[in-house]
Chains A and B, each alone.
Chain A
């Protein structure tokens, strides 16, 4: 990557793999469980978080020298909440359909621990450009896991992807269902997300043993 120095590139790439906010830092689990029953919802949520965390990190970083440390958490909350409301209002005015899909997640974005975590741990101590990269990287790392989980849950839980019946029709018994296959209703409920995330963590750690914590 000639565009970015190696250090800058790592800000984006690290959270995608070896420092992933969900599988390594175990942050943002709540929303990962709540909304991954469908692939489409996962993708929408991932995009929203990329925007909010990217912009939010820059805003906090620009203000880092003037934010009073006593109320910094409140300031961070205000920044996230404002960004989320702006996104929500603009979508309602110009992309009404999308805003209805997103409505459920607005609250979840504000409470997403990854966002506050990155503000606190990175943006308060680094410049705007680095903070921007860090925000995008972490949001993408979060989004990737969300999309993987959403993919498997929708595929095995409903037999669809993005609403398309990829495995045939469960009622008419066509496609895979003709052989006696049934959708796994368990995949749709939140605990299934925990298991899928668990499997991802397992695979990741068995590939890279350096990630396994020593007792």
Chain B
């Protein structure tokens, strides 16, 4: 080939052309796949919320099985009867509350703006579920989840997920054996919203004791576990005024 590839002008031209070509390919790809990707993300959120309130296809034992994506939209509108947005003292209905980005709301609240807190109210077999989305920090990156409560402030189900926790260790917060431990735990300690602690050495690996505000920790995932405990505790403080209004007086 006759081109002198060592010339500076050639190098610059090549780099410029490469950037344009690669940029167009990626832009085209992102634009054409955008709708499909955001639809997937929407389905995933619906699946997670339903999972927390116990609408899933789990078998007796084993892995997490969501409602399949082709049915999830229908089931979501069937089971989730109300979607509320709490903004300070104001509570409004919003059928797209589940699309609220918690991370954005948290950043907003740092600037002093009021923060939107979504709550989903589910109804299954006449029983009401109050599902609270939450978000916190794990070891490497964000963790988030949905906690379903009933009026007695007892956990009915949870779903946790993470962005980049260590596979085999912290990533196991989304395993069923870990999430199932939360069911039946109370978030109250006396009248305090104590949350649920992911505790090392509570000597209760199969979680028979349900009134200790503790679940058994994952080995090798101390920081992820602590992050999860902190996420629940902090989020409950935010939701506390709302929870006071639905809590059964005892």
Contact = CB atoms under 8 A, between A and B. Distances in A.
Contacts of B30: 89
Contacts, number: 79
A62 B199 CA distance: 56
B14 A89 contact: no
Given A68-B10, A68-B11, A93-B33, A78 B163 contact: no
A92 B33 contact: yes
B169 A78 contact: no
B220 A188 contact: yes
B164 interface: yes
A164 to B, nearest CB: 9
A188 B5 contact: no
A37 interface: yes
Contacts of B44: 96
A40 B166 CA distance: 13
Dominant secondary structure at the A interface: helix
Given A65-B1, A93-B40, A71 B219 contact: no
Interface string B10-37: 1100110010001001100110010011
Given A68-B14, A82-B25, A93 B37 contact: yes
Interface in A71-96: 71, 74-75, 78, 82, 85-86, 89-90, 92-94, 96
B164 A71 contact: no
B6 interface: yes
A37 B167 contact: yes
Contact of B168 (A37, A67, A93): A37
Sorting the interface of chain A by its residue count into under 10, 10 to 19, 20 to 34 or 35 or more gives 35 or more
A69 B168 contact: no
B109 interface: no
Nearest to B4: A68
Contacts of B3: 66
A171 interface: yes
Contacts of B163: 103
Interface in A144-172: 153-154, 157-158, 163, 171-172
Given A37-B167, A71-B14, A104-B164, A89 B22 contact: no
B168 A185 contact: no
Given A66-B1, A92-B33, A104-B167, A74 B206 contact: no
10 contacts: A35-B167, A66-B3, A71-B11, A75-B14, A92-B33, A92-B40, A93-B40, A96-B44, A154-B168, A188-B169
What 6 A-B pairs come out closest when comparing CB atoms?
Answer: A37-B168, A68-B11, A93-B36, A96-B40, A93-B33, A41-B167
